[in-house]
Amino acid sequence: MPGSVDDLIRTFIARLSARDIEAAAAMVSADFEYDNVPMGKAFGPDGLRNTLTGFFAMLDDVDWQVIRQTSTGDMSSGTVLNERDDRVNLKGTWHSLPVAGVFEVRDGIITLWRDYFDRQTLMEIMEAEGRLPDSLVACIGGGSNYSGFSFPFMMDKLQHRVDSPEFVACEARAVPHTTRGTYTYGFGDTAQITPLPKMFIVMLNLLF
């Protein structure tokens, strides 16, 4: 077992570089926060697993190298800052992604991992290697995944930095709650305690 917060984070990065997601997930707390600043947040070991599984699936290989690292505190309560070169391999070509990482440790477990990097650099790498999706299709509506699913790609498309992807928002034909119905003020929640936004009301559409 690592004896210091510095060793703990180096071990964590080494496990990620080996794409051993399960071993890395075993080092984080139940309330762990992964703040991938340009892209979004994930929480808990499952959030880490899901995020990295999807990311690694797009790559042929990874080689994350810690260039320099400093720490304060100890295993009971510590903070680690590092500078990394998160190298990724796409179609046999290695690309460098400079990253600055912040980690917090409590009782020997990682509670926070926050990474800062230039998202445009990553998008250019993915576009150059033909790894950007052609289309993003997801459901919209209360509790949907559309915003989080499409957000990482929207800014580059809106600023005409990339040609793809195409964004496709979907709704159920049986309950067209965003394009059909009675357009009026209504509650956005079943408890009816939120302010009244103007929207399509499905129940009125179904009743009348």
Domain-located, residue 46: yes
Q: Highest-confidence range of 49-58, 75-84, 175-184, 188-197, by mean pLDDT?
A: 75-84
CATH assignment of the domain containing 106: 3.10.450.50
pLDDT in tens, 31-59: 999 998 877 788 999 999 988 888 888 78
pLDDT score at 114: 96
- Angstrom distances, CA of residue 42 to CA of 19, 36, 94, 151: 18, 8, 27, 14
Domain-located, residue 136: no
Q: Which domain holds residue 19?
A: 5-131
pLDDT score at 206: 42
The overall pTM is greater than 0.85: no
Domain-located, residue 113: yes
Q: Does residue 18 carry a pLDDT above 70?
A: yes
Number of domains in the chain: 2
pLDDT band at residue 177 using 50, 70 and 90 as cut-offs:
low
pLDDT score at 207: 41
pLDDT score at 129: 58
pLDDT in tens, 63-122: 999 999 999 999 999 999 999 999 988 888 888 889 999 999 999 999 999 999 887 776
- Pairing state between β 93-95 and 77-90: antiparallel
pLDDT score at 82: 97
pLDDT band at residue 16 using 50, 70 and 90 as cut-offs:
very high
What's the gap between Cα 51 and its chain centre?
Answer: 6
**Contact (Cβ atoms closer than 8 angstroms) between residue 99 and residue 113:** no
CA atoms of 105 and 134, how far apart (whole Å):
39
What integer is the mean pLDDT of 5-31? Answer: 96
**Contact (Cβ atoms closer than 8 angstroms) between residue 125 and residue 88:** yes
Q: Are residues 16 and 104 in the same domain?
A: yes
Q: Does residue 204 carry a pLDDT above 70?
A: no
Chosen domain end from 131, 163, 179: 131
**Contact (Cβ atoms closer than 8 angstroms) between residue 130 and residue 165:** no
Domain-located, residue 142: no
pLDDT in tens, 114-153: 999 887 776 676 666 565 677 778 777 655 567 666 766 7
pLDDT score at 104: 98
